[in-house]
Protein backbone atom coordinates (compact mmCIF):
# COMPACT_ATOMS: atom_id res chain seq x y z
CA UNK A 1 0.00 0.00 0.00
CA UNK A 2 1.13 3.51 -0.71
CA UNK A 3 2.01 5.91 2.07
CA UNK A 4 3.08 9.53 2.27
CA UNK A 5 5.21 11.10 4.99
CA UNK A 6 5.32 14.82 5.52
CA UNK A 7 8.34 15.28 7.70
CA UNK A 8 7.29 18.52 9.37
CA UNK A 9 3.92 19.03 10.99
CA UNK A 10 4.53 22.76 11.43
CA UNK A 11 6.83 25.19 9.65
CA UNK A 12 7.01 28.80 10.89
CA UNK A 13 8.78 31.30 8.66
CA UNK A 14 9.07 35.05 8.28
CA UNK A 15 7.54 36.89 5.39
CA UNK A 16 9.74 37.04 2.25
CA UNK A 17 11.87 34.12 3.47
CA UNK A 18 12.22 30.95 1.38
CA UNK A 19 10.44 27.80 2.47
CA UNK A 20 10.64 24.07 1.77
CA UNK A 21 7.96 21.61 2.82
CA UNK A 22 9.17 18.05 2.71
CA UNK A 23 7.31 15.03 1.41
CA UNK A 24 8.44 11.42 1.00
CA UNK A 25 6.38 8.60 -0.42
CA UNK A 26 6.73 4.87 -0.38
CA UNK A 27 5.92 3.07 -3.56
CA UNK A 28 7.74 0.59 -5.70
CA UNK A 29 5.85 1.55 -8.84
CA UNK A 30 5.22 4.66 -10.85
CA UNK A 31 3.21 7.31 -9.05
CA UNK A 32 1.41 10.55 -9.63
CA UNK A 33 2.26 13.17 -7.01
CA UNK A 34 0.31 16.21 -5.88
CA UNK A 35 0.50 19.12 -3.50
CA UNK A 36 -2.74 20.61 -2.21
CA UNK A 37 -3.32 23.66 -0.01
CA UNK A 38 -6.14 24.08 2.48
CA UNK A 39 -7.12 27.44 3.95
CA UNK A 40 -9.18 27.51 7.17
CA UNK A 41 -12.70 26.16 6.73
CA UNK A 42 -12.10 25.46 3.07
CA UNK A 43 -11.64 22.45 0.84
CA UNK A 44 -8.42 21.51 -0.90
CA UNK A 45 -6.95 23.41 -3.82
CA UNK A 46 -4.38 21.88 -6.14
CA UNK A 47 -1.05 23.70 -6.15
CA UNK A 48 0.80 21.47 -8.59
CA UNK A 49 1.12 17.91 -9.83
CA UNK A 50 3.74 15.57 -11.20
CA UNK A 51 2.53 13.04 -13.73
CA UNK A 52 5.61 12.43 -15.88
CA UNK A 53 8.33 14.29 -17.74
CA UNK A 54 10.34 17.11 -16.22
CA UNK A 55 11.12 16.53 -12.57
CA UNK A 56 10.75 20.22 -11.74
CA UNK A 57 7.10 21.16 -11.60
CA UNK A 58 5.82 24.71 -11.35
CA UNK A 59 2.47 25.45 -9.81
CA UNK A 60 0.27 28.32 -8.80
CA UNK A 61 1.15 31.16 -6.42
CA UNK A 62 4.88 30.83 -7.12
CA UNK A 63 5.25 27.31 -5.73
CA UNK A 64 7.36 24.61 -7.33
CA UNK A 65 8.29 21.03 -6.47
CA UNK A 66 10.97 18.61 -7.52
CA UNK A 67 10.34 14.92 -8.06
CA UNK A 68 13.29 12.78 -6.98
CA UNK A 69 12.69 9.14 -7.80
CA UNK A 70 15.85 7.81 -6.17
CA UNK A 71 14.99 9.49 -2.88
CA UNK A 72 11.22 9.00 -3.33
CA UNK A 73 10.69 12.64 -2.47
CA UNK A 74 8.55 15.47 -3.77
CA UNK A 75 9.49 18.57 -1.77
CA UNK A 76 7.56 21.81 -2.20
CA UNK A 77 9.42 25.12 -2.36
CA UNK A 78 8.76 28.82 -2.62
CA UNK A 79 11.58 31.38 -2.82
CA UNK A 80 9.70 34.12 -0.98
CA UNK A 81 6.55 33.59 1.07
CA UNK A 82 3.73 35.99 1.87
CA UNK A 83 1.41 36.26 4.83
CA UNK A 84 -1.35 34.95 2.58
CA UNK A 85 0.53 31.64 2.15
CA UNK A 86 -0.36 30.73 5.73
CA UNK A 87 -2.32 27.50 5.35
CA UNK A 88 -2.05 23.74 5.64
CA UNK A 89 -0.30 21.92 2.83
CA UNK A 90 -0.88 18.30 1.89
CA UNK A 91 1.21 16.00 -0.24
CA UNK A 92 -0.67 13.19 -1.98
CA UNK A 93 0.07 10.22 -4.20
CA UNK A 94 -1.97 8.05 -6.54
CA UNK A 95 -1.23 4.95 -8.57
CA UNK A 96 -1.61 5.77 -12.26
CA UNK A 97 -1.90 2.13 -13.24
CA UNK A 98 -4.29 0.99 -10.55
CA UNK A 99 -7.29 -0.94 -11.76
CA UNK A 100 -10.90 -0.72 -10.77
CA UNK A 101 -10.75 2.97 -10.06
CA UNK A 102 -7.91 2.71 -7.57
CA UNK A 103 -5.98 5.10 -9.77
CA UNK A 104 -8.45 7.76 -8.67
CA UNK A 105 -7.72 7.20 -4.98
CA UNK A 106 -5.48 9.79 -3.36
CA UNK A 107 -3.35 8.85 -0.36
CA UNK A 108 -2.49 11.93 1.68
CA UNK A 109 0.21 12.85 4.11
CA UNK A 110 -0.73 14.24 7.52
CA UNK A 111 -0.21 17.80 6.39
CA UNK A 112 2.22 20.63 7.16
CA UNK A 113 0.94 23.83 8.72
CA UNK A 114 2.86 26.73 7.21
CA UNK A 115 2.68 29.89 9.29
CA UNK A 116 4.11 33.04 7.77
CA UNK A 117 4.90 35.72 10.32
CA UNK A 118 5.42 39.44 9.59
CA UNK B 1 -18.04 26.58 -14.63
CA UNK B 2 -19.44 25.90 -11.19
CA UNK B 3 -17.21 24.05 -8.76
CA UNK B 4 -17.97 21.10 -6.53
CA UNK B 5 -20.88 21.91 -4.24
CA UNK B 6 -21.38 20.21 -0.91
CA UNK B 7 -24.44 20.63 1.26
CA UNK B 8 -24.96 21.35 4.02
CA UNK B 9 -21.78 23.15 5.13
CA UNK B 10 -22.39 22.44 8.81
CA UNK B 11 -24.33 19.78 10.68
CA UNK B 12 -24.82 18.93 14.32
CA UNK B 13 -26.20 15.50 15.10
CA UNK B 14 -26.72 13.38 18.19
CA UNK B 15 -25.08 10.02 18.78
CA UNK B 16 -27.12 7.20 17.31
CA UNK B 17 -28.73 9.32 14.61
CA UNK B 18 -28.01 9.02 10.93
CA UNK B 19 -26.94 11.71 8.48
CA UNK B 20 -26.88 12.21 4.72
CA UNK B 21 -24.41 14.51 3.00
CA UNK B 22 -24.72 15.66 -0.58
CA UNK B 23 -22.18 16.44 -3.29
CA UNK B 24 -22.77 17.91 -6.74
CA UNK B 25 -19.70 17.45 -8.94
CA UNK B 26 -18.45 19.73 -11.66
CA UNK B 27 -20.58 19.42 -14.76
CA UNK B 28 -19.33 16.58 -16.94
CA UNK B 29 -17.37 14.85 -14.19
CA UNK B 30 -18.53 11.30 -13.57
CA UNK B 31 -16.14 10.34 -10.80
CA UNK B 32 -16.95 11.40 -7.24
CA UNK B 33 -14.80 10.51 -4.25
CA UNK B 34 -15.38 11.09 -0.55
CA UNK B 35 -12.76 11.74 2.12
CA UNK B 36 -12.95 12.12 5.88
CA UNK B 37 -10.65 14.66 7.51
CA UNK B 38 -9.96 14.58 11.25
CA UNK B 39 -7.13 16.11 13.32
CA UNK B 40 -5.97 12.68 14.45
CA UNK B 41 -6.21 10.60 11.28
CA UNK B 42 -5.82 13.29 8.64
CA UNK B 43 -7.42 12.78 5.24
CA UNK B 44 -8.73 9.30 4.67
CA UNK B 45 -10.37 7.90 1.56
CA UNK B 46 -13.93 6.68 2.05
CA UNK B 47 -15.11 5.58 -1.41
CA UNK B 48 -15.27 6.51 -5.06
CA UNK B 49 -18.20 6.32 -7.45
CA UNK B 50 -18.16 6.36 -11.23
CA UNK B 51 -21.29 6.23 -13.35
CA UNK B 52 -23.42 5.16 -10.38
CA UNK B 53 -21.08 2.30 -9.42
CA UNK B 54 -18.84 2.13 -6.40
CA UNK B 55 -15.40 1.32 -7.76
CA UNK B 56 -13.23 1.64 -4.71
CA UNK B 57 -13.75 1.64 -0.97
CA UNK B 58 -11.58 2.65 1.93
CA UNK B 59 -11.24 0.97 5.29
CA UNK B 60 -14.35 2.25 7.03
CA UNK B 61 -17.14 0.32 8.78
CA UNK B 62 -20.35 -0.54 7.01
CA UNK B 63 -22.10 2.37 8.75
CA UNK B 64 -20.57 4.53 6.04
CA UNK B 65 -22.27 4.14 2.70
CA UNK B 66 -22.84 6.13 -0.42
CA UNK B 67 -24.52 6.25 -3.75
CA UNK B 68 -24.38 8.14 -7.00
CA UNK B 69 -27.26 9.20 -9.16
CA UNK B 70 -27.55 9.27 -12.93
CA UNK B 71 -26.73 13.00 -12.97
CA UNK B 72 -23.45 12.17 -11.10
CA UNK B 73 -24.59 13.82 -7.88
CA UNK B 74 -23.55 11.74 -4.90
CA UNK B 75 -24.69 11.26 -1.35
CA UNK B 76 -22.99 9.63 1.56
CA UNK B 77 -24.79 8.31 4.57
CA UNK B 78 -23.53 7.56 8.04
CA UNK B 79 -25.81 5.54 10.28
CA UNK B 80 -25.72 5.12 14.05
CA UNK B 81 -23.44 8.11 14.49
CA UNK B 82 -20.58 7.95 16.98
CA UNK B 83 -18.66 10.82 18.55
CA UNK B 84 -15.63 9.78 16.50
CA UNK B 85 -17.51 10.47 13.28
CA UNK B 86 -17.13 14.19 13.92
CA UNK B 87 -15.06 15.38 11.00
CA UNK B 88 -14.87 17.44 7.85
CA UNK B 89 -16.21 15.36 4.98
CA UNK B 90 -14.79 16.34 1.61
CA UNK B 91 -16.06 15.42 -1.80
CA UNK B 92 -13.91 15.50 -4.93
CA UNK B 93 -14.86 15.17 -8.57
CA UNK B 94 -12.70 14.23 -11.52
CA UNK B 95 -13.01 14.02 -15.26
CA UNK B 96 -12.89 10.58 -16.83
CA UNK B 97 -9.26 10.69 -17.82
CA UNK B 98 -6.93 9.04 -15.30
CA UNK B 99 -4.69 12.08 -15.20
CA UNK B 100 -7.53 14.42 -14.39
CA UNK B 101 -7.13 16.67 -11.43
CA UNK B 102 -9.36 16.06 -8.40
CA UNK B 103 -11.41 19.15 -7.58
CA UNK B 104 -12.58 19.40 -3.99
CA UNK B 105 -15.66 20.97 -2.50
CA UNK B 106 -15.58 23.10 0.64
CA UNK B 107 -16.70 20.18 2.75
CA UNK B 108 -19.39 19.45 5.29
CA UNK B 109 -18.42 19.90 8.91
CA UNK B 110 -20.21 17.22 10.93
CA UNK B 111 -20.29 17.47 14.70
CA UNK B 112 -21.69 14.56 16.69
CA UNK B 113 -22.73 15.37 20.26
Q: Which residues contact B85 (CB under 8 A, 6 or more apart)?
A: B78, B110, B112
Please indicate whether, in this complex, the C-beta atoms of B101 and A46 are within 8 angstroms of each other.
Answer: yes
Mean pLDDT of chain B: 93
Pair A101, B50: CB distance under 8 Å: yes
- The per-residue pLDDT for range B34-89, each reduced to its tens digit, is 999 999 899 999 999 999 999 889 999 999 999 999 999 999 999 999 999 999 99
Q: Which residues contact A6 (CB under 8 A, 6 or more apart)?
A: A21, A22, A23, A89, A90, A91, A109, A110, A111, A112
> In the predicted model, is pLDDT for residue B98 greater than 60?
no
Please indicate whether, in this complex, the C-beta atoms of A104 and B104 are within 8 angstroms of each other.
Answer: no
> In the predicted model, is pLDDT for residue B105 greater than 70?
yes
Nearest CB to B106 within list A36, A43, A90: A43
- The per-residue pLDDT for range A68-95, each reduced to its tens digit, is 999 999 999 999 999 999 999 999 998 8
| CB count in 10 Å sphere of residue A57 | 21
Mean pLDDT of the region B91-96: 88
Closest-CA distance, A86 to chain B, in angstroms, reads 18
Residue B95: which pLDDT band, with cuts at 50, 70 and 90?
confident
Task: Single out the residue of A38, A104, A74, A22 nearest to residue B42, CA to CA.
Answer: A38
In total, chain A counts a number of residues equal to 118
Residues A103, A101: Cα–Cα separation, whole Å: 5
pLDDT confidence of residue A101: 63
For residue A100, which residues of chain B lie inside 8 Å, CB to CB? 55-56
**C-alpha Rg value of chain B to the nearest Å:** 13
Q: Where are the beta strands (DSSP E) in A1-118?
A: 3-6, 10-14, 19-21, 23-26, 32-38, 44-50, 56-58, 64-68, 73-78, 87-94, 107-108, 112-117
- The per-residue pLDDT for range B4-17, each reduced to its tens digit, is 999 999 999 999 99
Closest-CA distance, B42 to chain A, in angstroms, reads 5
Chosen from A35, A44, A88 to mutate, greatest number of chain B CBs within 10 A: A44
Amino acid sequence: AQSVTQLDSQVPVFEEAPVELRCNYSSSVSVYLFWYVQYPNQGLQLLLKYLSGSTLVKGINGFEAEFNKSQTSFHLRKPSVHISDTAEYFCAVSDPFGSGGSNYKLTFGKGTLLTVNP
Amino acid sequence: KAGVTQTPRYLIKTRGQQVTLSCSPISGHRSVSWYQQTPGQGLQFLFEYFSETQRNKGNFPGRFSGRQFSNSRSEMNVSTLELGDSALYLCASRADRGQGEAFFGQGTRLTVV
